[in-house]
Structure formats: structure tokens, C-alpha cells
Structure 1
Amino acid sequence: MSKSSLSSEKLEFQLERLTSKHQKIDARVCELDGRLSLTADEETELQQLKKEKLALKDELAGLTSR
């Protein structure tokens, strides 16, 4: 297997892993956003999830622009 092919496989695996994680976080964000009210802990969780989701989006964008 060539080095390029191996790198391509690693990149694809990384993209799949990050995309899956992003989708899971997005589902939780949607769940929390859909509630009428949140506890203080849920508010904190929501803010942390949104930051993590944005960081993952940036990481995905960086990988796909290669």
C-alpha cells in the first residue's frame, strides 16, 4: 500500500470520527435547545457543547481543505 493511500485512509478515518462526534454533539444541543427551561448545569453543558461543536467544525474544515 502506498504512503499516499495510507494517508488518505487515515484522513478518511479521522473525518468519519470527527463527523460522528459532531453529529452526537449536535443531537444533544438540539435536545437541550428544545427544552422550555434549563437548569444551571444544563446551561453550562449547552455552552460547552456549542464550543466543542464549533471546534470540531473548524477541525473538519481544516482537514477537508487539504
Structure 2
Amino acid sequence: MDEDGLSASDVLVLQVVREEGPVPRKEINESVPVADRTVGKCLSTLREDGFVERRPNPRDARGYVYESR
């Protein structure tokens, strides 16, 4: 997959997911210097483009974890 066309925020979020994944969104929010809403948009873009997957969080049934493909 080619990272060309991703925003700087997308790349930051993807880097966290690759290095720390599977990782809950809360931890991603704490790891990147962008607004929570922006993290959500980045994760949506990265999922749509096939860079990350969202799975149920095994430690918290109410949440999800993100991991790279």
C-alpha cells in the first residue's frame, strides 16, 4: 500500500498503530498531537484505504482496537 496522498495527521496515526498496535483509540489520541476528532477522521481514512483494521477490544467490550494490515 502506498502512503502517498495521506495527510500528515494520517501518517502520525498510522505510525502509532504500526508501532503500538493493536491499540485502543484512547491511546492513539494520547500519542499524537492532534485533536480527538482529527484522530477519528484519520482512522476512518486509514480503514477505508486498507491501512488499518478495527477489531473489538478484548479488554473492553465497549471499545475497539486498531492494528495495521
TM-score w.r.t. structure 1 length? 0.33
Higher strand share: 2
Give the helix-richer structure, 1 or 2. 1
Larger Rg: 1
- Name the TM-score, length of structure 2 as normaliser: 0.32
- Higher normalized contact order (CA 8 Å, seq sep 6+, divided by chain length): 1
